[in-house]
């Protein structure tokens, strides 16, 4: 395998499948099978998942809700998604641990870096829930932070598009895809990969990001194997 330890960032919306809201069990099962295929090859895999399929703090704040309160609700949404993904992985016989930045000890371990690394070394998938545990930080920031803490080789950002384009390919079919691009070029061209805080943190720590289409079966294995799938952002 090209990468030994990876952090996979999934959006909450990815779990929608064809649904308008909630979690699609078919999509969940497909993700679990793709993750299992990679773990079975000895790759150490951690996951950060968003909560946008259930609740977004920013959206709540735009409707008059207190932003801090809304962000905590969003964190709890990521825990719900984490529990769902944990269940799907364990149904596929993949040992999994859910760790949360907010203590919810009845259902998950508190986040402890050394414990997370030990789980990974033992071949367990570790899901990090509730973001960073702080309001005003996105799950993108949580993904980069956790990846740095566990010394991941790369961040894999699974989306519904197959990489980074000059424009949104769903709106402009003439948009041009990048196979490789530098952090500086992403910023210069004003391309959207992650929020600025997360992206800058990744750049400062020289942690590469690969944006790829997670909804195509087998793509995760191809990326981890080093195939030229999606777009790689590096120094």
Q: In this predicted model, what pLDDT tens digit does every residue of 18-76 receive, in sequence order?
A: 888 899 999 999 999 999 999 999 999 999 999 999 987 677 667 778 999 999 999 99
- Share above pLDDT 70 across residues of the chain, in percent, rounded to a whole number: 98
pLDDT of residue 140: 96
Supply 188's token pair: 């210069």
Q: In this predicted model, what pLDDT tens digit does every residue of 176-192 receive, in sequence order?
A: 999 999 999 999 999 98
Q: Cα(157)–Cα(7) distance, rounded to whole angstroms? A: 8
- Share above pLDDT 90 across residues of the chain, in percent, rounded to a whole number: 83
pLDDT of residue 1: 75
Would you say the pTM of this structure is higher than 0.85? yes
Q: Label residue 104 by pLDDT band (50, 70, 90).
A: very high
Domain ranges of the chain: 5-234
Average pLDDT, the chain: 94
Q: Write the burial class of residue 115 (CB in 10 Å: 0-12 exposed, 13-18 middle, 19+ buried).
A: middle
In sequence order, which residues have a C-beta less than 8 Å from that of residue 62 and are 6 or more positions away? none
Instruction: Report, in angstroms and rounded to the nearest whole number, the Rg of the chain calculated over CA atoms.
Output: 17
Look at domain 5-234 and name its CATH class.
Answer: alpha beta
Report, as an integer, the average pLDDT of 151-162.
94
């Amino acid at each position: 395998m090209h990468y030994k330890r990876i952090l996979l960032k999934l959006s909450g919306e990815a779990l929608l499948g064809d649904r308008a809201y909630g979690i699609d069990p078919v999509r969940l099962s497909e993700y679990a099978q793709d993750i299992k295929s990679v773990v079975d090859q000895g790759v150490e895999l951690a996951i950060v998942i968003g909560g946008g399929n259930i609740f977004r703090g920013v959206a709540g704040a735009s409707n008059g809700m207190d932003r801090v309160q809304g962000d905590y609700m969003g964190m709890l949404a990521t825990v719900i998604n984490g529990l769902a993904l944990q269940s799907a992985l364990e149904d596929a016989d993949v040992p999994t641990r859910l760790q949360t930045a907010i203590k919810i000890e009845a259902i998950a371990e508190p986040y402890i870096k050394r414990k997370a690394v030990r789980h990974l070394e033992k071949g367990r998938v570790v899901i990090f829930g509730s973001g960073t545990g702080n309001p005003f930080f996105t799950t993108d920031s949580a993904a980069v932070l956790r990846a740095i803490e566990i010394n991941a080789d790369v961040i894999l950002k699974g989306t519904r598009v197959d990489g980074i384009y000059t424009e949104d390919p769903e709106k402009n079919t003439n948009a041009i895809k990048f196979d490789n691009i530098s952090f500086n070029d992403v910023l210069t061209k004003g391309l959207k990969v992650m929020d600025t805080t997360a992206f800058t943190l990744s750049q400062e720590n020289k942690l590469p990001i690969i944006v790829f289409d997670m909804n195509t079966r087998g793509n995760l294995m191809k990326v981890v194997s080093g195939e030229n799938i999606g777009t790689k952002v590096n120094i």
